[in-house]
Structure 1
Amino acid sequence: MSQPTEEQVEKYDRLVPMLTAAHKEMSELSKKKQDGIVNTLKIRNINRLLDELLTVLGDDPSRGFLEKLDEETLPQNSDVVLLLSQWQAALQQFKKRHTDSDLGSYSSRWITVENPKQ
């Protein structure tokens, strides 16, 4: 498993809030109607986001457990919430594996190809 690049980190920082928003929206829809069918527009938009997030994960082992939404079967709201929760967990683990505490500032920083661990 290789370290991410600065480009992957920038994508992560840009896309994870979008994933969080999509998860929140789908959770709200699921509360109203769990078995409601998700329309193809939402599926395409979410899958476009997930495609980009796959490039962020690179060769991360969690990729094998992640799926995109199936446009053919049109999943239910609750299925989408479960799937997006798995993506969020995988991305949180990815960040945890590739960040380290910066003792001087009491914050964390990404360990990347361009900025390796010292």
Structure 2
Amino acid sequence: MSKARNTDLPTEAIVAKFEMLTPMLDSALLEMREFSKKKQDGVLNPLKVKVLNRLLYDLKEILSADPSTEYLDLLDDESLPQNSDAVLILGQFRAAMDQFRIKYFGYYNGTHRWLTVENPKTY
């Protein structure tokens, strides 16, 4: 685990939002993988792009302090991406979230917990 300064840590509110959105991203990724299996070059409709981008926008805010956000893109709502494009983008967000969890969640003082601004690592 890298040593993070308290100012680098997420807040309890960010962690709560992270935990709320994680299953939503997992569900969206699973659904898009299924769509992609059936029709890889199928185009997403505007409603799907809007719903997915709302989720991705919030996740990008959560991950804003992480260098990986430079590589995280929202879905293009003008050219409407193909199913396989959406799978790629959702997968990148999932990988960034996994890195976030590895960085800030661990076993400290006898319990599994998040390191947060309000509850930093203590020795």
TM-score range, shorter chain: over 0.9
- The answer (yes or no) to whether the contact 1:4–1:58 under 8 Å persists in 2 is no
Q: Gaps (5+ residues) in structure 2? A: none
2:80 to 74, 77, 93: 74
Q: Structure 2: which amino acid aligns with 1:36?
A: G
Number of the residue aligned with 2:64: 58
Q: Distance in 2 between matches of 1:111 and 1:27?
A: 32
1:16 to 18, 22, 25: 22
Number of the residue aligned with 1:29: 35
Alignment partner of 1:104 is 2:110: yes
- TM superposition score normalised by structure 1: 0.94
Report deviation, 1:103: 5.5
4+ residue runs of structure 1 moved beyond 6 angstroms? none
- The answer (yes or no) to whether the contact 2:60–2:72 under 8 Å persists in 1 is no
Q: Distance in 2 between matches of 1:93 and 1:82?
A: 17
Q: Structure 2: which amino acid aligns with 1:15?
A: L
Q: Distance in 2 between matches of 1:54 and 1:71?
A: 17
Alignment partner of 1:89 is 2:95: yes
Report sequence identity in percent: 51
Q: Distance in 1 between matches of 2:20 and 2:90?
A: 17
